[in-house]
A and B are shown apart, each in its own frame.
Chain A
Amino acid sequence: MFDLVKHSILFSFFIFLSSFVNADDRKFNLGKIATKTEIAGWNIDVRPDGMGAPKGSGDAIKGEEVYAEQCAACHGDFGEGVDRWPELVGGEGSLDTHDPVKTTGSYWPYASTMYDYIYRAMPFGVAQSLTHDETYQIVAYLLYMNEIIEEDFVLSEKNIGKIKMPNQKGFLLPDPRPDIANTDGKPCMKNCKVPTKIIGKARDIDVTPEEEKS
């Protein structure tokens, strides 16, 4: 009898405990709740509508200096790109030509992406070392060089979600694939009419890396 009472008290205690732990109906009770400070340190993304843009501001005039110091070594003084590092400026009207030039000005649909990417990944190898103001300054300078904003336009968390990029409407959704003719699983098997003349050989282009000869 005593044991039964003891057990039932223990049992009730466990029910109480588990209902406490399961107050938020977690299934496995793994992991921990993240604090606001922890989230703030890692939650650096900036969305097209400006969500996530940190407080700060900058214009192209200040941006020119920061850009020269932090970016120009790879991207060139005017965003023209050095060696094989990306061009950042120009390329308007080139997207439907034989040699499309995809830059922040000619191709990128959102200014938020410029802020997001530059802050998270640039300068190459020194990620997340720029201040928020410096990042706004650099984005402003690139937008100015691409003739999207004026030199004295002050870019900030309040307006980065409102910048209209030239190629914003240049993207098609949703994915139309499969976009090829044959999706019936029954391709031609015999005497198919296909071009069989050799019109090009990789050997002649001759850009394949060579093996070291030992």
Chain B
Amino acid sequence: MKKNKKNQSLKLNRRELLFGSASLGAMAAASNSVFAQEVSSNNLPPNVPEWTGELGDGVDVNPYGMPSQFEENVVRRNVEWLTASSQSSVNFTPIQDLEGIVTPNGLCFERHHGGVSIINPKDYRLMINGLVDREMIFTLDDLKRFPQTNKFYFLECAANGGMEWKGSQLNGCQYTFGMVHNVQYTGVKLSDLILETGLKPKAKWVLAEGSDSSGMTRSIPIEKLLDDCMIAWAMNGEALRSEQGYPARLVVPGWEGNMWVKWLRRLEFGDMPYMTREETSKYTDLLPEGNARMFTWVMDAKSVVTSPSPEKPILNKGVHQLRGLAWSGRGKISRVDVSLDGGKNWKTAKLHEPVLSKSVARFTFPFEWNGEELLIQSRAIDETNYVQPTIQELQKIRGVNSIYHNNSIATWLVNSDGKVDNVRLG
């Protein structure tokens, strides 16, 4: 936090020099998908649009299709001052621009600790060693010959919203909630894979290790591994993207994204946790007393209104469809409530099918806007009856320095001009 402040003041100075004002930045951030296109009346009725009077591209032009050029603002974004290098950094899913529950592969947020490894699948090997009956090596083709499983799961970084513990810092839905994505994985369940290696009775933990430049490692208790973890080689029907661990990654449903080791090269079974850098110096949650929670794996229930949001201002008076996402690492979302007055009064939103366990769910809520200020919030409830908390509830127990696991309710202020701000109520 100390460093953040240092950067903030640097940034302010720079901007003051450039623009002579410190107020332009937030407006620009909110505008990114609003003013992208202008209307050409030549294309409107009763005129014949320009694209009607000419042939379009043939089937040989785009062997791998890309989004329309008019969607060029729908991209992952990063916050440069957050990290020292872009290879050990993070970017954010543009959830404010997405519909339904599936995150397109090219928009899934990235978090790397040593950049994106490029691996020829023929050179891929998975080693399994330690407390097993047989220490073994599998090729990618071997993995694909096991019984297959196909599942939708969300992956959320434990630091999603981590910048918001002390107050509202980043004026965007993407920057405050975008370290989450939701895709359908294809792969092999670990409970099937270990039928080949066998397990020694003393095996209680597994170390998952990546083959990237950071050699990412995390310890996972064996009960979780054998419950629902899988090694995936495909997402949303196609091979994993390189930035998501091609050719194979670990899937740890409902648990923090850091454990979903990408470019997975090794699983070592042991009788105690390995206490890796990632599960000691990072991904531990510092409390006000100076001690820290360790092994806080589950991602608690969370929801966010994706529109309206700082990037999605309200442009017209009248009827609108509020949209949002909700998810829980403990199972299915059972209900989402929406408030337009800062949490005083709540109404239940519509949950859209499918609502799957440990997957994001889509909710909508119709409302009418006539230029009044709104304080928009959403609140998720999951099948364990866990209710998404306010930031005050979390702060009371955990203080403001735990970085990880901020699943609190956010507030979007809709101003009378329709522009939307990330605000903190108190």
Contact = CB atoms under 8 A, between A and B. Distances in A.
B162 interface: no
A195 B426 contact: yes
B423 A201 contact: yes
Given A28-B146, A206-B25, A45 B274 contact: yes
Interface stretch (B99-107, B166-174, B241-249, B319-327): B166-174
Interface stretch (A116-124, A135-143, A145-153): A116-124
A177 B29 CA distance: 35
B29 A209 contact: yes
Contacts of B331: none
Interface stretch (A1-9, A13-21, A99-107): A99-107
Interface in B63-79: 77-79
B226 to A, nearest CB: 15
A48 to B, nearest CB: 5
A182 B388 CA distance: 8
A95 interface: yes
A113 B27 CA distance: 44
Given A120-B215, A205-B167, A200 B134 contact: no
Contacts of A186: 385
Contacts of A173: 293-295
A191 B292 CA distance: 36
Contact of A172 (B87, B214, B294, B384): B294
Contact of A201 (B12, B135, B421): B421
A28 B196 contact: yes
A108 B214 CA distance: 18
A69 interface: no
Where chain A touches its partner, the secondary structure class is: loop
Nearest to A87: B3
Interface in A70-96: 74, 83-85, 95-96
Contact of A183 (B213, B268, B287, B387): B387
Contact of A188 (B207, B346, B426): B346
Given A30-B146, A34-B135, A110-B280, A203 B171 contact: yes
Contacts, number: 305
A39 B135 contact: yes
A185 B336 CA distance: 11
B129 A39 contact: yes
A32 interface: yes
Given A30-B138, A180-B394, A202 B296 contact: no
Given A31-B137, A177-B300, A202-B422, A172 B171 contact: no
A176 B297 CA distance: 11
Interface in A193-211: 194-211
Contact of A202 (B15, B26, B32, B137): B26
B31 A202 contact: no
Contacts of B393: 180-182
A178 B397 CA distance: 11
B281 A113 contact: yes
Interface residues of A, number: 89
B29 to A, nearest CB: 4
Interface in B389-422: 389-390, 392-394, 397-398, 401, 405, 413, 421-422
B195 interface: yes
Residue from the set A171, A172, A173, A205 with the largest chain B CB neighbour count within 10 Å: A205
Given A180-B394, A203-B421, A32 B294 contact: no
B88 interface: yes
Residue from the set B146, B274, B385 with the largest chain A CB neighbour count within 10 Å: B274
Contacts of B85: 124
A210 B171 CA distance: 10
A58 interface: no
A94 B136 CA distance: 46
A172 B146 CA distance: 39
B8 interface: yes
Contact of A206 (B1, B22, B379): B22
A200 B114 contact: no
A124 B422 CA distance: 36
Contact of B291 (A113, A172, A188, A204): A172
B217 A195 contact: no
Interface of A: 24-34, 38-39, 42-45, 47-49, 51, 74, 83-85, 95-96, 98-102, 104, 107-110, 112-113, 116-117, 120-121, 124-125, 127-128, 170-192, 194-211, 213
24 contacts: A28-B145, A28-B196, A34-B129, A39-B129, A102-B286, A104-B281, A110-B280, A113-B276, A124-B114, A170-B290, A171-B284, A175-B297, A177-B296, A178-B384, A178-B386, A196-B341, A198-B424, A200-B424, A200-B426, A201-B171, A204-B26, A208-B26, A208-B172, A210-B24
